[in-house]
Structure 1
Amino acid sequence: MRTGHALALLLREYGVESVFGIPGVHTIELYRGFAEAGISTHPARHEQGAGFMADAYARQTGKPGVCALVTGPGVLNALTPLAQAWHDSIPLLYITATTRSDLLGRERGPLHDIRDQVAAVAGVTEHSWLARTAQELPELVARAWAAMTTGRPRPAHIAVPIDVLTAEVDGPFTPFSKIADTAAAATAAVAATAAATTAAATGPHGEAGRAAIAAAGALLCQASTPAIIAGGGARKARAEVRAIAERLGAPVVTTGNASGLLPPGHPLAVGTLLPFAGAQDLLREADVVLAVGTEFSETDVLYTGREVELEGSLIRLDIDPANLNAPMPAKVALEGDARAVLAGLIALIDREPAADGPARTVAARAAVGWTGQSLGHLPWLDAVAAALPEDTAVVLDSTQLAYTAHHYLSPAEPTAWTATYGLGTLGAALPMAVGAAIAEPERPVLAIAGDGGSLFTLTELATAVDLGRQLTLLIWDNRGYGEIRDSFDRASATRVDTEVTAFDHALIARGFGARGLHVATPEALREALHEALRTNAVTVVVAAGF
């Protein structure tokens, strides 16, 4: 068989069930293999959409999302989703064709040639490799799998010259499980070395790790006003975060990537209110703060002008040693998997919960201070919440209604809430909603986007319609780039190029074969969403946000 065919069969050995992309003349052999291996393929209408779909698929399933992309423009079109996956620690694999071996780097201008495809992708993720021969592919796939599934998940890219993809090989590749184990061990060794060079950064295993866990446990047992801040690295430790919060009586503040970590209404759930005064006062006044899986990124407090300030002792837990002391140093740093380390901490905590934990949570939730614009969003978001089936997966784009929703609404659990928190790109919601729908076919899906940002990827409505299942897109129509418009106003600058939109998004939706309608009031929105989220069809609801 040909190499591309064998590579597809190899991916199936790793458990790959779905692949996203747009087939091209250079990837035919891959697609031949996908068909034989029983791997489902999902054609996007633009490679950027394919990357976003694979990203959401990975978030919802916990398994790597895979894209097959053609040489040159196909890869370049998909760099934004790969950069997003790097920011949010999502396991995403790009298998790409690249220029013929004898023309690589020659700048001779063959079809789809770029100067250095591997280097271009390395600009957004450190794991970018070239397979110069078919024989290298089993090892490279093993290295990619280790990068995506051990330590901090990171996206990976393997480029295969088109002559290698079509070269004959003896038969299917054998998975390099031993190489994968070696790569995982190497990853752990690198992390251990980095931790050893930082005085406070000690792994959870061995004498130093045990000492660090004991020190953290002692601090938490003595804390009178403990608090927890949890980020995306805590998503898989939902039960452990809840257990330690309840044992300590510690309010829990989450970043966007950890939305839903505690269920709505839990007496210790502050929610994603980190940018606001109440949550920041809570953290500043805490005598001990346990930070789990968060980078303290500026995107977590964007647009408010408030930085997180801590006056008490900081305990940091992260799988990435680089995050243990930056941007703020920890008194005790714990390197490791959140579930494992938290389980060790829970076993050491022997105390009564802080009695005022629920009261501090209520106070933090009360001191938000919605702006006039956000206050105008709240009736619309109440309508959204009233219409949602309990298990709906909601995907948020970068738009003003979604910004408010991010802080105002409380998802039931982490996979119910997805957004491009790290990179903050526009246009991701619709294709990510498609990926979520493929990942969980029986689950209702709602995407929320702006009229401006939705135009980045609106062609993926065709992909959604092709699925033949429920998917609802709510477009907040504020007649242009509303947030950018307001930023011009805040800067006392004349607005330039902010008043751009489409004539009629609902009409456009109908052109793609979707249902399209306009609503002018929150009550009309509630009724429209209630029907759309329970109807086996793609629906675009355009809400008048002006």
Structure 2
Amino acid sequence: MKFGQAAVKLLEHYGVDTVFGIPGVHTIELYRGLDETGISSIPARHEQGSGFMADGYARVSGKPGVCLLISGPGVLNALTPMAQAWHDSVPMLVLASTTETALLGRNRGPLHDIPDQAGLVGKLTSPSVTVTDPEQYAQVLAEIWQGFRTGRPRPAHIAIPIDILAKEVGTIAPVLLPAPAPGWTPAQIREAAGLLRTASRPVILAGGGALLAADQLIRLAERFDAPVVATTNAKGIIPEGHPLSASNTLPFTGTQAELREADVVVAIGTEFSETETIYTGSPVRIGGRIIRIDVDPAQLDAPFTATVGLVGRAETVVAALLDATADLPPAAHDGAARAAAMRSAIQWTEASRAHMPWLDALAAATPQDTITVLDSTQLAYTAQQYVPHSTPGTWIASYGLGTLGAAIPMAVGARIAAPDKHVLAIAGDGGSLFTLTELASAVDRRSQLTVVLWDNAGYGEIRDSFDRAHATRVDTEVTAVDHVRIAEGFGARSSRVEDPEAFGRALKESYEHDGVSVIVATAPDMPAGVRR
């Protein structure tokens, strides 16, 4: 068989069942025989869409998202999704062709050639390797998968020259690597447990790295009567109705005061990124001792130095803490009252208050286990803080990198990962135009997907930012004129709604429709004189 065919077959060993991409002349050998494997291929309309689909698929399935891309423009088109995956610690493999071996780095101008593809992509991936023989490929793939499973997940890139892809090879056997040693010691676990045993006002701060430890985290919170604050990527890690849930209130005064007053803060899988508090712009300050749990040792002292730093996957480390404190009865530290105080001390902007009737309608109409994917749009910004959500790993808000246009293709990937769940994407009329062509990919799937387009005639948040800066608006009023007809042209069912009541009815109907529904919602602050 050809090297390209053998390379894809080896992916099956690692549990890959879906790949995303757009086939091209340079990747025929990667697609050769794909129909004879157990791997499904999902075509996008643009490689950026492929990358975002792989990202959404990975977040929902828990398995790495895989892209098959052509060299040069295909890889370059996917750089933004790679950067987003890097920012949000999402496992993604980009398996790509590259220039034939004899012309690599020669600057002779062959088709799709770019200088040092692996070096360029290596700024956003780890590793990024040009592979030239089967044994090297098997070793690199084993190392990548071990990193996905035991380290901080990052996107990875393997480039294979087109002449190597076409070489005849035998079956490529997987390489088995020894399991890495734990990054923490029993002594460190005992030290962290000691801090918790003597704490009188503990708080748990859960980031996206804690999602797989949701059950253990709740047990830890209940044992020490510690309120749980969730970051953007951890929304839903503890049910909203749980008395210890402080929800994702990190930007607000009540939660920030509690973090300053807590004598022990257990920070699990969080970078303390500035994007977590962007709603108010108020930075987090920690007043007491900190137990940091993170798979990435570089995070243990940034931006706050850990009193005790535990390197490892959250589910493993929290389980060890539970074992080390199993002799303790449940503590009583007014955790429920403190969590309630945090939930009540929220300072909403007037813009967010205008969104609330719409979001109340959305929450009432949307099934509880719906996977929700947010784009960068004003309705979504308020939803992130306001809408209750109680299922870990099903609320996706990729606000680390903060790109526009990610939600629609990410929702397609999420739907493929969870075909039995409802999926909702919330995007803006301006940002949706970045990847609106992926509506065609969604329609091709012939399954439920609801897309809400918040229509404020352009880039509403940027428009408001100009106003706050007392600068004259420039290029913020852009429009596609008629999003309803555009969506219908892709084969989606579409309608425009003008008020929250109609919005709620349209949402309920969309969840019952076995296909793609696009709901264009006219924002209450739509600029005057815009024709719709």
Equivalent pair of 2:300/2:306 in contact (CA under 8 Å): yes
| Runs of 4+ that moved beyond 4 A | none
Is the contact between residue 134 and residue 172 of structure 2 (CA under 8 Å) also seen in structure 1? Answer: no
Secondary structure of 2:512's aligned partner: coil
Write the mapping of 1:526-545 to structure 2, written as runs, cut at 5 A: 526-545=504-523
Q: Does 1:429 align with 2:407?
A: yes
**Aligned-pair CA distance for 1:412:** 2.0
1:370-381 alignment runs, 5 A limit: 370-381=348-359
- Give the corresponding residue for 1:246: 222
Deviation at 1:27, TM superposition (A): 0.7
Q: Distance in 2 between matches of 1:422 and 1:308?
A: 17
Separation of aligned partners in 2, 1:234 and 1:168: 44
**Secondary structure in structure 2 of the residue aligned to 1:240:** helix
Which residue pairs with 2:64 in the alignment?
64
Distance across 2 between alignment mates of 1:339 and 1:7: 32
The answer to whether the aligner puts 1:211 opposite 2:210 as a matched pair is no
SS at match of 1:533: helix
Match of 1:470 in 2: 448
Greater share of helix:
1
Query: Identity over aligned residues, as a percent?
Result: 59
Secondary structure of the residue aligned to 1:211 is helix
Q: How far apart are 1:348 and its partner, in Å?
A: 3.3
1:451-530 → structure 2 map (5 Å cutoff) = 451-530=429-508
**Hey, what does 1:286 align to over in structure 2?**
262
Match of 2:105 in 1: 105
The answer for unaligned runs of 5 or more in structure 1 is 193-202
Corresponding position of 2:530? none
How far, CA to CA, are the matches of 2:492 and 2:164 in structure 1?
Answer: 41
1:9 counterpart residue number = 9
CA–CA distance in 2 between the matches of 1:344 and 1:160? 42
Comparing 449-458 and 313-322, the one that deviates more? 313-322
Partner of 1:196: none
In the alignment, the residues of structure 2 paired with residue 313 and residue 354 of structure 1 have an alpha-carbon distance, to the nearest angstrom, of 19
Determine which of 385, 388, 399 is the counterpart of 1:410: 388
Query: In the alignment, is the contact (CA less than 8 A) between 1:260 and 1:414 conserved in 2?
Result: yes
Q: Structure 1 CA distance, aligned partners of 2:8 and 2:297?
A: 34
Distance 1:492 1:18, change over 3 A: same
1:175 aligns with 2:174: yes
Deviation at 1:502, TM superposition (A): 1.1
Checking the alignment, whether the CA contact within 8 Å between 1:228 and 1:250 is kept in structure 2 is yes
Cα distance, 1:303 vs structure 2: 4.3
User: Which amino acid in structure 1 is aligned with residue 138 of structure 2?
Assistant: P
1:333 equivalenced with 2:332 (yes/no): no
Please give the TM-score of this superposition, normalised by the length of structure 1.
0.94
**Does the CA contact (< 8 Å) of 1:444 and 1:534 recur in 2?**
no
Q: Is this contact kept in 1: 2:124–2:155, CA < 8 A?
A: no
Quote the residue 2:18 is aligned against. 18
Superposed CA offset, 1:183-227 (max 9, x none): x53xx5xxx8xxxxxxxxxx42xxxx2222212112111111111
Q: How many residues align?
A: 522
What secondary structure, in the 3-state scheme, does the structure 1 residue paired with 2:157 have?
strand
Written as runs of structure 1 = structure 2, the 5 A alignment for 1:328-407 is 328-349=304-325, 350-407=328-385
- What SS class does the counterpart of residue 414 from structure 1 fall into? coil
1:44-76 deviations in Å (ceiling 9; x for gaps) = 000000011111111111111100000100000
The CA distance in 1 between the partners of 2:168 and 2:494, in whole Å, is 50
TM-superposed CA distance for 1:108, in Å, is 0.8
Deviations along 1:270-299, whole A, 9 cap, x unmatched?
Answer: 111111111111111111111111111111
Structure 2, unaligned runs of 5 or more: 526-532
- 2:528 is matched with none
By how many angstroms is 1:488 displaced?
1.0
Equivalent pair of 1:387/1:530 in contact (CA under 8 Å): yes
Letter in 1 for 2:108: R
Q: In the alignment, does 2:165 pair up with 1:165?
A: yes
Instruction: Identify the match of residue 283 of structure 2 among 282, 297, 307.
Output: 307
Shift of 1:351: 4.5
Contact 1:122 1:128 in 2 (8 A): yes
Determine if contact 1:94/1:157 at 8 Å carries over to the other structure.
yes
For 2:259 and 2:40, the matched residues in 1 are separated by 46
CA–CA separation in structure 2 for the residues paired with 1:20 and 1:291: 35
Query: C-alpha deviations, 1:387-415, integer Å up to 9, x for none?
Result: 11122111011111111111111222122
